[in-house]
Every structure is written in C-alpha cells, then in structure tokens.
Chains A and B, each alone.
Chain A
C-alpha cells in the first residue's frame, strides 16, 4: 500500500534551517509529484510547493520563494523540504502529500513532522 513516512520532530533556533524527508513506498516514486503543506498550531493548511519526481522540476508558493527548496532522491524514493531563515512563525506541522496529477488533488499524506522554532 502507498505510504509516505516523514522524518522526526525538529527543534531549531531562529535563523537556522531545517530539512525534512518524506520516504515513499508502495508505488513507483517517479510517477507522482510530491507536495509539501504546513499547518501552524490551530491554523489552516498552507501549500508550500511541489516537485515533479520524474524530472525534479519545482514550483513554490510565492510566500516561501527564496526560503524554501524541495529536492528528491530517486534512488531513495525520498523527497526533501528545506526551509531557511526560520522564525517562530515557522513553527508548524509539515506534511508531504502525493499529488494525483490529472486531478490536481493530494491523494496520500505523510504523518507530519513537527518543527518547533524557539530560542
């Protein structure tokens, strides 16, 4: 069955960077895009960007442009989210989700990774 397993919780200081992983299994990795979505405590879902797992092309939300980098390792069937210049407002649960290409929906989700930014 399709599974997206994310790396564990992180605690970072303001100004630092964080890199989260999302390991896919149960399907051919390069066949589907991987999206990243975050949710601050008590807040709504917020789309951050996505990567085409076949060719590595990315698209980012304008809000995070310049601070976010999404990459992949095809051999490891893993996508990565790196967010730099962290502030307390970046404290959130970060989810990866498999894109359902032609339907532009998020079909399967990882379990989420809590990133806490605190001095």
Chain B
C-alpha cells in the first residue's frame, strides 16, 4: 500500500490561510468519506484534527476545515497561529479494509 501524497511543506504568515492537499487513488479513498487529518508536534503523539473529511472533534478550533474532491482531500488552516506549526498527516480507510497515511506536510509559520 503506497502512501497518500502530500506536499513536503507549506508556509504562511500569522493570520494567513494555508491548504494542504492529500492525493490518492480510487482504492485509497473508495466511495466513502473516511478521511481524517492529524497534527503532530515534535516528540509527541499525533492528534486527531478532522474526521470524515470535514468534521472537527470537540475542542478543535473552527480555523481547521477539511474538504474532498474526487481523489484529493484538503485541510485548510485559517487565521494561522504560531502554535499551528507542526507536521500534518492525512489518513484514509481503504477499500481493502485497511488504512493508509499520507507522506506528511510540515506547516511553517513565518
């Protein structure tokens, strides 16, 4: 199972918006919306930020939003803050009843 493809890094100034893409194939995404996003700061475990493409768990700010079109999912961070600097990973439940993660994207806050 190959990883989903994400850009290595994206950058933005405080207050700006950044968008991270996550591209796979049909078997990666299937016809469902079981795409989730995770934030990982250095030396810590990942944290769930978005589930089912666009839903936020309790406690996640509404600055984080998700979407999906065909075989590309996206995470947008609006009103970028210094604390948003971290690695972000997408994940999808596949048609083989397995899961696949993306290659990861480092968000840099300038």
Interface residues of A (CB under 8 A from B): 35, 37, 44-47, 50, 59, 61-63, 95, 97, 100, 103-107, 109-112
Contact = CB atoms under 8 A, between A and B. Distances in A.
Interface of B: 1, 3, 32, 34, 36, 38, 40, 45-48, 51-52, 55, 57, 89, 91, 93, 97-104
Contacts, number: 66
Nearest to A6: B45
Contact of A103 (B45, B51, B103): B51
Nearest to B36: A105
Given A44-B104, A47-B101, A97-B46, 13 more contacts: A44-B89, A45-B40, A45-B91, A47-B98, A95-B46, A103-B55, A104-B51, A104-B52, A104-B99, A105-B51, A105-B91, A107-B57, A109-B45
Contacts of A97: 46
6 contacts: A47-B99, A104-B51, A104-B99, A105-B34, A105-B52, A107-B48
Main secondary structure of the interface of A (DSSP, over half): strand
Nearest to A99: B99
Nearest to B52: A103
Top 5 A-B pairs, shortest CB-CB distance: A104-B34, A104-B93, A109-B45, A105-B51, A105-B36
Contacts of B45: 95, 109-112
A21 to B, nearest CB: 16
Contacts of A104: 32, 34, 36, 51-52, 93, 99
B1 A109 contact: no
Given A63-B1, A103-B52, A109 B101 contact: no
B48 A61 contact: no
A103 B34 contact: yes
Contacts of A107: 48, 57
B98 A59 contact: yes
Contacts of A112: 45
B38 to A, nearest CB: 7
A9 to B, nearest CB: 13
B1 A45 contact: no
